Amino acid sequence: MSQPFCSLPAHSQLRAVPGDKGLPLIGHTLSFMSDPIGLMRKRYDQYGPVSWTSVFGLKMVQLLGPDANQFVMLNRGDLFSNHQGWDYFIGRFFHRGIMLLDFEEHRWHRKIMQQAFNRDVLKGYLERMGPHITSGIAPWKDIADFHVLNAVKQLTLDLATDVFMGYELGPEADDINRAFVDTVRAGTAIVRTRVPGLRWSKGLKGRKLLEAFFRKEIAAKRQSRDSDLFSVLCHAETEDGEQFSDDDVVNHMIFLMMAAHDTSTITLSTLFYYLAKNPQWQERLREESQALGKTCLDYEDLPRLEGIGMAMKEALRLCAPVPSLPRKTVKDVEYEGFFIPRGSFINVVPYFTHYMEEYWPVPEKFDPERFSEARREDKVHPYAWVPFGGGAHKCIGLHFAEMQVKAILHQVLLNFRWSVPQDYEMPVDTTSLPVPGDGLPVKLERI
């Protein structure tokens, strides 16, 4: 039964946000983790675009649909804090990552960090990536159950350490990989205190390992001037000559490595799945790659891989790697006639928006042509397709992500064909960031 989210100020003309908290103690946490789209659809149908529920021990207002995305992401009047929204989930593990900073301080950090993502720097990253991808996929073999998730995760982590840090990980690679997985998974822990062996505790241990790992390299990075991101962050400065402190560099590196490696892994896994289910698309993209006539991409080749570009957009629609974005209100907010008081947790949900049949015809269908110039279904609303967010916190790595996904998929298409049985449906594990629940086993054949 619907209950108001809060009482209204005296004489207010606004309405209270409707909703319900769900089960005692856990609220709707379990369905939020197991079937977020289904849960949001139910709430949207029952209450409309604005409602509240209880998840992870918090009363949270869901603002659903493209209009709500626009309102929150543009954040006119500085109504919403990123820091206070994300901090509850990942603050302990991604302390002072740029996504967790707000307003003036965020703008200062973003201005410096932007230097690590300008066109010339990106070109340098791509040059480093090509040969690394070639050697990374060289050991892949003909095999009946090739586990895509693990292989791609390994490849993107190796690439990230080379491009971001300027060297290959040695025997510590497994520990670092584990530490990233643990810090990310800890964000959606149900028991949010240190209990050995559980998610929260593992996350804290992971953070400690990552801090020590980056900190021990800083002095050397400040001395040298290389083209890797770590080095760029150590030297980037404002017009007034201000630089990131050692703490800033460590915090940003941990956040960036996580942001880059998990999200690209999810995007590539989704592409592997849909291209296995739609072999005609796999063939079309392969022909496009073969037509380029080269193994390693140059920056100027990226727009020529139009088919991969559309398929990637469609993969990001079908499986938004960052499924929902939490915020906290720092002022009283009025939205669509509803009153949301200062200090409320709110949430916008790209994952749900991307499946709204109101905006996307046959939303479950893999149909990259939606993004062709002739159709451009994403133009129905500027905030209908929001895998990278929007506004001041819009993903700073979106071009990097496109470049990396294109560079990897291009080489994989040239060297391999892959398939799944016709009746196979990939289970998606949404208990943290969405990943193939079974690791995505495919039949891999070298061409």
User: CB 226 → ligand HEM: shortest distance, Å?
Assistant: 17
The residue among 297 and 316 lying less far from ligand HEM, judged by its C-beta, is 316
Helix (H, G, I), strand (E, B) or coil at 72: helix
Q: Does 259 bind ligand HEM (CB under 6 A)?
A: yes
- Tokens 């991101």 belong to 229
Q: Binder to ligand HEM among 387, 434, 436, 439 (CB under 6 A)?
A: 387
Q: Does 322 bind ligand HEM (CB under 6 A)?
A: yes
Q: Does 110 bind ligand HEM (CB under 6 A)?
A: yes
Q: Does 393 bind ligand HEM (CB under 6 A)?
A: yes
Q: Does 90 bind ligand HEM (CB under 6 A)?
A: no
Q: Does 163 bind ligand HEM (CB under 6 A)?
A: no
Helix (H, G, I), strand (E, B) or coil at 147: strand
Q: Binder to ligand HEM among 19, 321, 323, 368 (CB under 6 A)?
A: 321
Q: Binder to ligand HEM among 39, 40, 64, 98 (CB under 6 A)?
A: 98
Q: Please, are residues 329 and 344 in contact by the beta-carbon 8 Å criterion?
A: yes
Q: Please, are residues 244 and 131 in contact by the beta-carbon 8 Å criterion?
A: no
- Tokens 């289970």 belong to 427
Alpha carbon separation from 276 to 106, 148, 169, 399, 405 (Å, rounded): 41, 11, 31, 25, 17
Q: Which stretch binds ligand HEM (CB under 6 A): 338-346, 383-391, 415-423, 435-443?
A: 383-391
User: CB 396 → ligand HEM: shortest distance, Å?
Assistant: 4
Instruction: Report d(CA 360, CA 438) in Å as an integer.
Output: 28
Q: Does 260 bind ligand HEM (CB under 6 A)?
A: yes
Q: Does 400 bind ligand HEM (CB under 6 A)?
A: yes
Residues in binding contact with ligand HEM, number by CB under 6 A: 23
Q: Binder to ligand HEM among 51, 75, 81, 82 (CB under 6 A)?
A: 82
Q: Which stretch binds ligand HEM (CB under 6 A): 186-194, 255-263, 329-337, 412-420?
A: 255-263
User: CB 63 → ligand HEM: shortest distance, Å?
Assistant: 13
Q: Binder to ligand HEM among 179, 234, 285, 401 (CB under 6 A)?
A: 401
User: CB 230 → ligand HEM: shortest distance, Å?
Assistant: 12
Taking alpha carbons only, the member of 34, 3, 75 closest to residue 330 is: 75
Shortest-Cβ-distance residue relative to ligand HEM: 397
Q: Does 315 bind ligand HEM (CB under 6 A)?
A: no
Q: Binder to ligand HEM among 206, 397, 436, 441 (CB under 6 A)?
A: 397
Q: Binder to ligand HEM among 27, 66, 323, 389 (CB under 6 A)?
A: 389
Instruction: Name the helix (H) or strand (E) containing 120.
Output: helix 119-137
Instruction: Report d(CA 306, CA 145) in Å as an integer.
Output: 30
> Which residues are CB-contacts of 430 (< 8 A; sequence separation ≥ 6)?
33, 34, 35, 36, 323
DSSP string, 206-267: HHHHHHHHHHTTHHHHHH---SSHHHHHHH-B-TT--B--HHHHHHHHHHHHHHHHHHHHHH
Q: Which stretch binds ligand HEM (CB under 6 A): 293-301, 314-322, 333-341, 410-418?
A: 314-322
Q: Binder to ligand HEM among 127, 396, 424, 445 (CB under 6 A)?
A: 396
Alpha carbon separation from 262 to 203, 228, 259, 421 (Å, rounded): 15, 19, 6, 27
Q: Does 256 bind ligand HEM (CB under 6 A)?
A: yes
Instruction: Report d(CA 129, CA 376) in Å as an integer.
Output: 31
> Between residue 120 and residue 149, which ones bind ligand HEM under the rule CB under 6 A?
none
Taking alpha carbons only, the member of 295, 304, 303, 298 closest to residue 127 is: 298
- Tokens 């901090």 belong to 87
Q: Does 74 bind ligand HEM (CB under 6 A)?
A: no
Q: Does 36 bind ligand HEM (CB under 6 A)?
A: no
First-to-last alpha carbon distance for the chain, in angstroms, is: 58
Instruction: Report d(CA 406, CA 122) in Å as an integer.
Output: 14
User: CB 337 → ligand HEM: shortest distance, Å?
Assistant: 25
Q: Does 209 bind ligand HEM (CB under 6 A)?
A: no
Task: Name the residues that contact ligand HEM, by CB under 6 A.
Answer: 82, 98-99, 110, 256, 259-260, 263-264, 267, 316, 321-322, 325, 387-389, 393, 395-397, 400-401
